[in-house]
Amino acid sequence: MIRQNILSDEGVLQQFIDGVLAIKDPARFPWPGQPGLSIYDFFVAWHHQSMMLFTPPTQRDRNSAHSGPAFLPWHRYFLLRFEGYLRTALSDNDFRLPYWDWSADAALSNPRQSPIWSQEALGRFTQPAIWQVRIVPGTRGLTRLAQPRPLDRDLGALGGALPTRDAVRTVLRNQVVYDAPPYNSSSTGFRNYLEGWEGPARIHNNVHVWIGGDMADSTSPNDPIFYLHHCNVDRIWQAWRIRYPNAPYVPPQSASNNLAFHRIDDALYSVFREAAPVTPRSVLNPQALGAPFSAANHYDYDTLADLQG
Ligand code: CU
Ligand code: CU
């Protein structure tokens, strides 16, 4: 089953919107034990919690899902679980998450006018009657808003720029190892250049900054564009794996306990009780996912050709 470019297929765009609205609805997809909140909000909370879990707790850089090797497998896991809920909501076992190719928009004279932000597409989530933010970061952890508020976006206002195709290709070409000591935001290697702590284009991070508003926060999945952005990040990881098939995931399991949550057989940080722990190894190949995933979750991308060069 194929993850497609969201702008290449109106059907998949409509399915994404319908599915997201369904799982945001507490009446249809309730968050158990949290009246008024939904499964969609549960994912927002999971992402926030992942950032609050510093690994190890003696430093303030690497957390269980960012600024470390698990960045790519953890977000793949997050998307797989979200995608599963969309399939349920849509009653469509063949549905796969689409991606937003932001580097195509980087080539526009005004990326704010991309069709992705039109009212027919992701622009509609800025309508207060359609979408409300219910949980935000507070001074003491996650805060549930007594009064939900509209989604916040500031396209291009905070500065930053959408990464160009050339910048993405350069990272794919030049970064030949997955990650490197000290396995944090100062590392060399593909993961850190794609995550965007190193390198001039600040690839993944810059997309969050360019969109701004809720996307610039630990609760960034409040904006449904989060899923389309990370699907494209996941696609770039897949292109890199195919380009360097012999480059292993690192660190290995023999690495120090300081790298817990990031070693190849560590359980990725989760809020789900999984039948088997999801590890970096179990999600390395989207067409051969390990338990608890199965063929029902397998996916491929419509194209990786734009990323090679
Ligand atoms: Cu994240
Ligand atoms: Cu992100």
Distance 204 CA to ligand 2 centre (A): 6
pLDDT at residue 141, as a whole number: 87
pLDDT at residue 159, as a whole number: 80
pLDDT at residue 139, as a whole number: 85
**Beta partners for residue 99, in sequence order:** 5
pLDDT < 50 regions, the chain: none
pLDDT at residue 92, as a whole number: 98
Nearest-ligand number for the alpha carbon of 46: 1
Local structure of residue 93 (DSSP, 8 states): T
Q: How far is CA 73 from CA 131, 147, 200, 233, 283, in A?
A: 29, 35, 24, 11, 6
Helix (H) / strand (E) element for 149: namely strand 141-149
Are 186 and 143 in contact by the 8 Å Cβ rule? The answer is no
Are 265 and 69 in contact by the 8 Å Cβ rule? The answer is no
Distance 47 CA to ligand 1 centre (A): 6
Distance 127 CA to ligand 2 centre (A): 23
Distance 2 CA to ligand 1 centre (A): 23
Distance 31 CA to ligand 1 centre (A): 21
Distance 205 CA to ligand 1 centre (A): 9
Distance 186 CA to ligand 1 centre (A): 17
Q: What is the pTM of this model?
A: 0.98
Domains with residue ranges and CATH for the chain: 2-307 (1.10.1280.10)
Distance 49 CA to ligand 1 centre (A): 10
pLDDT at residue 5, as a whole number: 98
- Number of C-beta neighbours around residue 84 at 10 A: 14
CA distance 304 to 234: 11
Nearest-ligand number for the alpha carbon of 48: 1
Distance 65 CA to ligand 2 centre (A): 10
pLDDT at residue 125, as a whole number: 98
Distance 293 CA to ligand 2 centre (A): 23
CA atoms within 13 A on the CB side of 42: 22
Nearest-ligand number for the alpha carbon of 269: 1
pLDDT at residue 186, as a whole number: 98
Distance 209 CA to ligand 2 centre (A): 10
- Number of C-beta neighbours around residue 180 at 10 A: 17
Distance 53 CA to ligand 1 centre (A): 12
**Beta partners for residue 301, in sequence order:** 3
pLDDT at residue 309, as a whole number: 78
**Tens digits of residue pLDDT in 181-190:** 999 999 999 9
Distance 28 CA to ligand 1 centre (A): 26
pLDDT at residue 95, as a whole number: 98
Q: Which amino acid, one-letter code, is at 256?
A: S
